[in-house]
């Protein structure tokens, strides 16, 4: 278990007052207060889901086989997958895919122009407590799209959710057609999270809780 998760558990035991300090714990506090959670909004898969799952599809997108990717902003994307009652969806698999720092995907529809050192696609198996974790880069915008990461959740052969994750504070968010299509501000807020370094010089961290209806 990572130190990030360990610190979170310590604060949970310390009481609800301690939860306010981090997005992850504030979300858990709201769950206890409300007794139920709003399902994460779905969004389109987009045209660049892999035609074939790559041989290297682990949770570290900054390493592709023996190649190490050093472009972009080093980032950890973490979260918890639960149902609307807050129960962890054990055994689920979270997939993410995104462009490299130049806005290119590993996909023939984008000319397979992505940097070969960037894995571009990864999978993380949900732990017993519902958590998942990816090492990747802060997403970048391209064409008319705001910076985003594609997300899919599977459980066995079932696809539970396909959506997209956005960066809070990005000026391009207001002009992104897919994000703007969500008319309910609560839906837009559910897909828009803060990317920030806990301390100067450290990688960015983003906490993205995923709630599935199934």
> Which is more confidently placed, 6 or 187?
187
**pLDDT at 35 (0 to 100):** 54
How many structural domains comprise the chain?
A: 2
Each residue's pLDDT tens digit, 134-182: 999 999 999 999 999 999 999 999 999 999 999 999 999 999 999 999 9
Is 147 found in the same domain as 87? yes
Tokens encoding 185: 């501000």
Is 91 found in the same domain as 8? no
Each residue's pLDDT tens digit, 8-48: 333 333 333 333 344 554 545 554 444 589 999 999 999 99
Is 45 found in the same domain as 122? yes
Is 22 found in the same domain as 123? no
Is 104 found in the same domain as 78? yes
Provide the Cα torsion 108, 109, 110, 116; round to 10°: -20
Is 53 found in the same domain as 31? no
Query: Cα–Cα distance between 76 and 205 in angstroms, integer?
Result: 5
**pLDDT at 214 (0 to 100):** 67
Is 175 found in the same domain as 104? yes
Each residue's pLDDT tens digit, 96-130: 999 999 999 999 999 999 999 999 999 999 999 99
Query: Cα–Cα distance between 29 and 83 in angstroms, integer?
Result: 16
Under 8 Å between Cβ of 191 and 163? yes
Domain span including residue 121: 36-212
Is 61 found in the same domain as 12? no
Is 98 found in the same domain as 41? yes
């Amino acid at each position: 278990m990572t130190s990030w998760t360990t610190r979170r558990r310590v604060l949970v035991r310390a009481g609800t007052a301690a939860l306010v300090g981090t997005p992850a714990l504030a979300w858990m506090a709201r769950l206890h207060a409300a007794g139920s959670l709003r399902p994460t909004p779905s969004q389109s898969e987009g045209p660049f889901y892999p035609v074939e799952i790559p041989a290297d599809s682990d949770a570290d997108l900054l390493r592709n086989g023996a190649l190490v990717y050093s472009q972009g902003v080093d980032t950890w994307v973490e979260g918890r997958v639960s149902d609307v009652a807050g129960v962890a969806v054990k055994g689920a698999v979270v997939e993410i895919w995104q462009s490299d720092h130049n806005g290119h995907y590993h996909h023939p529809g984008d000319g397979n122009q992505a940097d070969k050192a960037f894995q571009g696609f990864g999978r993380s198996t949900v732990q017993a407590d519902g958590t998942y974790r990816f090492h990747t880069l802060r997403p970048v915008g391209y064409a008319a799209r705001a910076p985003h990461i594609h997300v899919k959740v599977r459980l066995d052969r079932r696809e539970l959710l396909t959506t997209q994750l956005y960066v809070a504070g990005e000026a391009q968010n207001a002009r992104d057609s897919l994000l703007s299509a969500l008319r309910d501000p609560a839906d837009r807020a559910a897909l828009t999270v803060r990317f920030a370094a806990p301390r100067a010089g450290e990688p960015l961290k983003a906490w993205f809780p995923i709630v599935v209806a199934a």
